[in-house]
Amino acid sequence: MKNLLYPILLAVLSTMIFFSCGGKTTSAEVSQTNPEKTDLLELARENFESLDLTKRPDKDHPKVVLGKVLFFDPQLSETGEVSCNSCHDLKKFGVDNKPLSKGIKGHMTQRNSPTILNTSGQVAQFWDGRSATLREQVRMPIMNLTEMGMTEAMLVDRLKKSPDYQKRFELAFPGEEILIENMADAIASFIESEVYHSKFDKFLLGQVNLSKVELKGMQVFIEKGCTDCHDGALFGGDDFEKFGLFQDYWAMTKSHKPDSGRFLITGDPDDLYVFKIPTLRNIDKTQPYFHDGSVRDLKEAVKVMGKVQLNVDLSNDETEAIVQFLATLTGDHSTI
């Protein structure tokens, strides 16, 4: 009887071991089953990087918790009607999906509100790069007369009068006064905690595969030269570029009027129509596109970029593949 049971038990155990190891497809397994996909994985790793989550602040840290409360608080605006989240809605991946955003008293912003997600570590902030750091950027809309309309004195006074904020600031910044600098540090820390991996990050790490059309889109994206501006971990955000290298952008986007871009900040003729290169992470969720929100459809935006920046006429199939690839850059956000 023992002689009969032994081979049966051995077979059962072998089967259990086989299935228990079959959860994730590793890079080595992909190599054995599909060498072409391995080549594409290596191509991806040559051009892009996964986000480093080890640098993400602890969401339970008192400074991050304070920053989250401040981010959603409309009392940071003069009229109590606009919060940071009003224009950078985290449920909408850090934007409001409007061409222009509404500030206090019905005032409208001059440019489209870019996503605040994955902004830390970029070359600068705002479309024209007028702010060098995220902590500096956080303060500017709050102090802008038409966006949130506060002065430093008004804001500090309002925060100091709140028993809740007194406790929260003491926890986040023990022994320090309530200062604008601390407020900005807290909000920036919260924004920096909102970083998540996407399907493409998992692909780079060898944890999942991309579909055939997603892989084709990545190939087209690289081969057509999109990675000249959109590469690395953020797929952009690390430099400035003229919008309209091969033709006037407003002719393609049907913008109401040309925007001189960074030239308005520097006065340098070389900066005419120059803007910060935006990150493409979460791009399929952050429409409308470009500094003026002039294009709502991602396929159209991809074709505009091909023609205006690369002098390339992308086919419908190429455009669809690129859009499918870009969708893999959407993070697994679960903030609210």
Any idea which residues carry the catalytic annotation? Answer: 147
Residues 6+ apart with CB under 8 A from 137: 119, 125, 126, 131
DSSP 274: E
The number of angstroms, rounded, from the C-alpha of 274 to the middle of its chain's C-alpha atoms is: 20
Q: Which two tokens stand for residue 38?
A: 């391995």
Name, in order, each residue with C-beta under 8 angstroms of 14's C-beta and a sequence gap of 6 or more: none
Output the six-digit token pair for 150: 């506060």
What does DSSP say about strands 274-276 and 240-242: parallel, antiparallel, or unpaired?
antiparallel
Tokens describing residue 109: 């912003």
Per the CB < 8 A criterion, the answer to whether 65 and 73 are in contact is: no
Q: Cβ of 312: how many Cβ atoms within 10 Å?
A: 18
Q: What is the DSSP string of 224-260?
A: TTGGGTS-BTTTS-SSEEES-SSS-HHHHHT-SS---
